[in-house]
């Protein structure tokens, strides 16, 4: 008890799937992962740090707060950090976006 379990959501390589919010995508393993309470992170798990988030912000201009369901900018980061799950953003599946453009 005490220390929260490590979770893929706290990992540097974690993204939410753009088309299916219940799916997650690991940009390190390059595969979709389905999270559950029993799931433990892979050996390449790397806990995201404030420094990592700042670097992603400077590269991409924004981060995504899973808890709030919205993109956040640097000024808002401190409000979410520590309390919410803040990640680098969405993974956009090429195949899925092709399918949706065909559907249009």
* Residues near Zn ion (CB under 5 A): 65, 67-68, 80, 84
Closest CB 7 distance from Zn ion, rounded Å = 16
Sign of the C-alpha dihedral computed for residues 11, 12, 14 and 18 taken in this order: positive
Judged by CB, which is closer to Zn ion: 35, or 66?
Answer: 66
Q: What minimum distance in Å lies between the beta carbon of 48 and Zn ion?
A: 15
Nearer to Zn ion, 15 or 80 (CB): 80
Q: Nearest distance from residue 16's CB to Zn ion, in Å?
A: 13
Nearer to Zn ion, 28 or 85 (CB): 85
Query: Do 29 and 42 contact (CB within 8 A), yes or no?
Result: yes
Sign of CA dihedral 3, 22, 64, 91: positive
């Amino acid at each position: 008890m005490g220390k929260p379990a490590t979770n893929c959501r706290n990992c540097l390589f974690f993204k939410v799937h753009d088309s299916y919010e219940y799916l997650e995508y690991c940009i390190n393993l390059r595969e979709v992962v389905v999270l559950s309470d029993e799931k433990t992170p892979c050996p390449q798990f790397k806990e995201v740090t404030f420094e990592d988030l700042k670097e992603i912000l400077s590269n991409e201009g924004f981060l995504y707060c899973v808890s709030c369901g919205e993109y956040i900018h640097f000024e808002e980061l401190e409000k979410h950090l520590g309390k919410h799950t803040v990640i680098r953003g969405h993974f956009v599946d090429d195949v899925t976006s092709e399918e949706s453009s065909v559907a249009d």
